[in-house]
Amino acid sequence: MAETPSDLDLVQRVKNGDKEAFNLLVLKYQRKVGRLVRRLVNNSDEADDVVQDAFIKAYRALPQFRGDSAFYTWLYRIAVNTAKNHLVSRGKRPISLSELASNDPNEESFEPPDVTVDNNTPEAELMSRQVAEAVNRSVAALPEELRTALCLREIDGLSYEEIAEAMNCPIGTVRSRIFRAREAVAAELRPLLNVSPDRRW
């Protein structure tokens, strides 16, 4: 069985004129980039266009890719910037509550810590729904930079270093943004869960 080529191998093949190699990169990352963009753009059709634009920009910029960072963090940065530019051009506010809530049971989702409920009772189901709505509401209200950092960390599972690469900012800024985003979500949840305001999560 042939060994799967690495991203760097595929990038080098693209640089050498192999367009099929780029198609392999698209197939590998299209779903992840699509999930990211749909969280930032509140329209599924527009999100598809943004994803396509992001891959076109990545293809054109590939000669400048030096491999200093992982290919997918470089690609994420392009996708985030393409989504931002799209939203600015349309005068739109990114993200919707429904786009944040994943319907895919295999996807990671942002859940508040130490919230364990027995979902077998109507009261527990109501509480779970209220917690999910509160999380979605508070995340949707975050400034774009905080929301993007939190989604990349909690939903896509990127490391702080990878998020810094994707968002083109220092790692300290990433830590600060994620801390502030988590604090904002926690502030929304504390009254709902009867948690003390001074409790750290």
CATH code given to domain 103-201: 1.10.10.10
- Does pLDDT of 201 surpass 50? no
Mean per-residue pLDDT of the chain: 77
Q: What residue spans define the domains of the chain?
A: 1-94, 103-201
CATH for 1-94, options being 1.10.1740.10, 3.40.50.1970, 3.60.20.10, 3.40.470.10 = 1.10.1740.10
In this structure, the number of other CB atoms found within 10 A of the CB of residue 64 comes to 7
CA distance linking residue 155 with residue 111, whole number of Å: 10
- Does pLDDT of 69 surpass 80? no
Looking at per-residue pLDDT, the higher value among 145 and 191 belongs to 145
| HEC readout, 173-195 | HHHHHHHHHHHHHHHHHHHHHCC
- What digits encode the pLDDT tens for the residues 84-114? 888 888 775 444 333 333 333 333 334 333 4
Please compute the mean of the pLDDT values over residues 110-125 and round it to a whole number: 49
The confidence score (pLDDT) of residue 139 equals 82
What are residue 6's phi and psi, to 5 degrees? -75, 165
- Does pLDDT of 70 surpass 70? yes
- Asked if the domains at 1-94 and 103-201 fall in one CATH topology, the answer is no
Query: What is the amino acid identity at position 35?
Result: R
The confidence score (pLDDT) of residue 96 equals 37
